[in-house]
Chains A and B, each alone.
Chain A
């Protein structure tokens, strides 16, 4: 068998996944923290203040990566949920459900930091603007997925129901992305482009890309740690868990 395919099959085994996540989650967290520290240093102490917004523009360095993560994590959650529904892979159920609290955390950061930036710039903490409203709906969807998963006693049934909600919720992602184009929005249009030309000065971009990379790597660490916790909860009482605690004590 191809070694990569074999590795994927092995990863589906709960004890193997526990060892894998216990080993790599701290590495990803550490690496993510390091890259984010570099980005935060640049954002707070290196780049100059904006000529119109002053220092408030520095909020962008946590707001934008969090906003991107809030949508990317939802897309990943729906992908895992679809794989879990089609091929009944238990690990994908676990990974899909582990995505939800992390995505909710990034969405919360997006909304709160956006609100804090909005007060001095727009003169208000909140506006029922299409971008803000759709992002708020995304938070409710995340909370719905978490609530549904925990409301059903049988973990597998709960994961399937919550996964279905995640798959249906994907329709919101293009609405969030294009909300500033489709409607007359208070929120500014696309300023930073991954492949095209960005409207930000080049000197302001490196810390932002560091934060984007850092939050992605951090997410991998959080995903592994949360999936490991859920894996242990589901597998409680199995022989490999007993062996694990015997080995630890």
Chain B
């Protein structure tokens, strides 16, 4: 980046390029991590449900149910 653009004066606009690629990187990182965090949450919830089932011997389906 920053090579000479012909014979005229060089205008780099480097800050704009860095800002744009920064936005790209941040959004792609979010796109990568968001589903993995969600999967971890659902697996944890399933594990807790399985532990409850093992404790009570049945799954009510409702955490606050008295059934």
Contacts and interface: CB of A to CB of B under 8 A. Distances in A.
B49 A236 contact: yes
A55 B17 contact: yes
A229 interface: yes
A103 to B, nearest CB: 11
Given A55-B14, A105-B27, A236-B49, A225 B19 contact: no
Contacts of A50: 5
A66 B24 contact: yes
A66 B27 CA distance: 11
B46 A245 contact: yes
Contact of A119 (B11, B16, B43): B16
A138 to B, nearest CB: 16
Given A120-B13, A242-B50, A248 B43 contact: yes
A55 B13 CA distance: 6
Give chain A's interface residue range (CB within 8 Å of chain B): 35 or more
Interface string B5-22: 110101111101101110
Nearest to B19: A116
A246 B50 contact: yes
B61 A237 contact: yes
Contact of A222 (B1, B17, B31): B31
B10 A54 contact: yes
Given A101-B31, A242-B46, 14 more contacts: A49-B2, A49-B5, A52-B5, A53-B13, A56-B16, A62-B21, A109-B27, A116-B16, A222-B31, A222-B32, A229-B39, A229-B42, A233-B42, A249-B47
Interface of B: 1-6, 8, 10-14, 16-17, 19-21, 23-24, 27-28, 30-32, 34-36, 38-39, 42-43, 45-47, 49-50, 53, 59, 61
